[in-house]
Amino acid sequence: MTSVNTEAGTYAGRQHDQGLTENAELTHVGPGTPCGEYLRRFWQPVEISSELGELPLAVRILGEDLVLFRSKSGGVGLLGRHCCHRGASLEYGIVTEQGISCCYHGWHYGLNGAILETPNDPDSRIKETLRHTAYPVHEYKGILFAYMGPPESVPNFPVMDIWEDPNSELIPFCYPYPCNWLQALENTQDPVHSVFLHTRISGTQFEESWGILPKVEWVETPLGMMNINVRRWKDKIWVRTTELVLPNMNQSGANNETGEQEKYLQRTSACRWFRAIDDTNTEIIGWRILDDNTEANLKDPSLYGKNKTPTFGQMDEGRPLEDCQRIPGDFEAIVSQGPITVHARENLAATDAGVGKLRNLVRRGIRAVKTGKPFISPRDNVDGVIPTYTQDTVIPYSGKSEDDAFICDVGAQVAEIVLKSARYPAAQRKEEVARAVRALSF
């Protein structure tokens, strides 16, 4: 017989509180919830334009069932899915020149939710007093965005600097994550996971240099926050800044960056929103940005689209379970946390400071909206666009010092230059960053 040590404290299976629940303030997104009302104050992506054809498209966003359609005159409508007459789904509606008509009794809705006709009761005055749920839609570079907040407070659509770069091409993509929006977004402010998940644990998924444990600091920016991720690799020091644009957008650096070639302010390779479908489902939607830095085998636009991305481990690729267990990616690590991560069960480490900071920023925004106070939101700055801060800078290593304090200081000084460079026009910014970094004494 095998003896089992039952001494108190050897096993802890019964010591964990199983009654804990998720932090609803930060994770629940339906109408009237604190987080849902916060997210509704920003333009949110709904769908990539190529998915919207001649027929209405049923969509779900922030816990609301809606229907998206393009009128015959070219306008885009986003309306409550169920007809306010008898509740038939407008997914089966008939698209018209001005809007959409319900298949059941012909009630006709304009893009703004106005009831244009009630043909089954043509003399009714209900169309003068009733308005159907409808949200404004803005189409930009192949993605349809909606604003779902108070109609009297519609903000300007925010245009980021990198989106208007004439030397790059924006290719839309989207794919689902069956989990809460926040736990998916948190991965973007946890650069240390790349050392383990993407390099040391299951082999190099991107580049060998990613396996060096970086020194990381997290700082607030005018748009939200960014991590300063700095490491020495061979004869270079590589400083990456990766940002969160509140409330749920991230711009990320290139997965093919090696940290071996000198460069200054190499910009983002992808911009993506972690768009909440509801409390337990998320859609990651955005653009892959193709430019001179994009690998040749990833420049084909057909590699991206609805449920399509060539980057390993970013979505459910249909791999056998055994393969996912041997070589997990971001999708497996994030979704396996459960439908909604219960924060009270976590035991955060020092390298999770960015996760804590992200949650605090979101909480601050939620409470500002709730109390009617100002909250961080994008504002035009230079040349009518909004400067962003995701970038890679790789500089020669002087050998001046080996200690952590020196490496951290390099990262801090480069990050400060990147932040201050926002005052320059986009075409001049890289040159100014290179000049300022070269002037530093490392």
Q: What is the pLDDT of residues 8-20, one digit of tens each?
A: 567 766 666 678 9
Whether residue 392 contacts residue 266, with contact meaning beta carbons closer than 8 Å, is answered with yes
What's the Cα-to-Cα distance from 159 to each of 45, 211, 305, 411, rounded to whole Å?
13, 34, 21, 28
pLDDT score, position 170? 97
pLDDT score, position 19? 82
Whether residue 224 contacts residue 361, with contact meaning beta carbons closer than 8 Å, is answered with yes
pLDDT at residue 83 above 70?
Answer: yes
* AA letter at 3: S
For 140-158, the pLDDT digits (tens) are: 999 999 999 999 999 999 9
Whether residue 132 contacts residue 80, with contact meaning beta carbons closer than 8 Å, is answered with yes
Top CATH class of 161-438 equals: alpha beta
Boundaries of every domain in the chain:
43-153, 161-438
Q: Locate 298 and state its tokens.
A: 């990833």
* AA letter at 44: Q
Q: Give the DSSP letter string of 314-325.
A: SS-----HHHHH
For 248-295, the pLDDT digits (tens) are: 999 999 988 999 999 999 999 999 999 999 999 999 999 999 999 899
Range in 55-59, 126-130, 333-337, 382-386 the model is least confident about: 382-386
pLDDT at residue 300 above 80?
Answer: yes
Which CATH code is given to the segment(s) 43-153? 2.102.10.10
pLDDT at residue 74 above 70?
Answer: yes
For 192-213, the pLDDT digits (tens) are: 999 999 999 988 999 999 999 9
pLDDT score, position 141? 98
Q: Give the DSSP letter string of 121-161.
A: STT--HHHH-B--EE-EEEETTEEEE--S-GGGPPPPP-BG
